[in-house]
Structure 1
Amino acid sequence: MIRHTVVFSLKHAAGSPEEAAFLRDARMLASIPGVEDFEQRRQVSPKSDYAFSFAMNFVDAAAYARYNGHADHVGFVRDRWVPEVERFMELDYAPL
């Protein structure tokens, strides 16, 4: 199992319609085959300056690779993520 997580901040103002649209539209990632347990979360700690996280599970590396290459994921990254995300960090974990 692979747990894929990205923490990020958007270029949009907090609480803006653009922020809400990005988060709403990103829910489509959950419908890509192989994605399990998709989560969106908002940062509440002052210890981090990343505003949001997306996390999802994949049964194995092959499922994760298919997700990365899926046309819907590629299109979301190209059309929404790159233009709208200010900065991010990606974390991918497998169980010990």
Structure 2
Amino acid sequence: MIRHTVTFRLKHPTGSAAETDFLKAACTLTSIPGVRKFECLRQTSPKSNFTFGLSMEFDDAAAYAAYSAHPEHDAFVQQRWIPEVLEFLELDYEVIG
């Protein structure tokens, strides 16, 4: 199992319609085959400058690779992520043990 996570900060003002629209668009990534346990998260820790997170799981590396190469994912990255995300940190995990 692979857990794909990304934490990010948007260019949009907090609580704006643009922020809400971006988050709704991000949630459409759940329709891509292989995505499991998708969560859109709001950062609550004062220790981080990031404001949101996305988390999802994949059965294996092949499912994750298929997601990454999927046209809907690519379109989201090109049309929404690159123009609207100010900064981000991506982490991918495999369970050990």
Show the counterpart of 1:37.
37
Residue 54 in 1 paired to residue 54 in 2? yes
1:75 pairs with 2:75: yes
* Percent identity (aligned): 56
Structure 2 counterpart of 1:40, which letter? Answer: C
TM-score, length basis structure 2: 0.98
- Which amino acid in 2 is paired with 1:75? A
After superposition, give the CA deviation of every residue in 1:23-75 in whole Å (9 maximum; x if it has no partner): 01111100100000000000111111100000000000000000000000000
Quick check: 1:5 aligned with 2:8?
no
Find runs of 4+ consecutive structure 1 residues off by over 4 angstroms. none
Q: List runs of 5+ in structure 1 lacking aligned partners.
A: none
- SS of 1:72's equivalent in the other structure is helix
Structure 2 equivalent of residue 26 of structure 1: 26
SS of corresponding position for 1:26: helix
Distance 1:53 1:43 in 2: 7
Q: Over the residues paired in the alignment, what is the CA RMSD in angstroms?
A: 0.4
1:94 paired to 2:94 = yes
C-alpha distance in structure 2 between counterparts of 1:33 and 1:51, whole Å? 27
In structure 1, what is the Cα distance between the partners aligned to 2:95 and 2:48? 24
Supply the distance in 1 between the matched residues of 2:48 and 2:87 (Cα, whole angstroms). Answer: 13
Give the aligned length: 96
**In 1: Cα distance, 2:19 partner to 2:28 partner:** 15
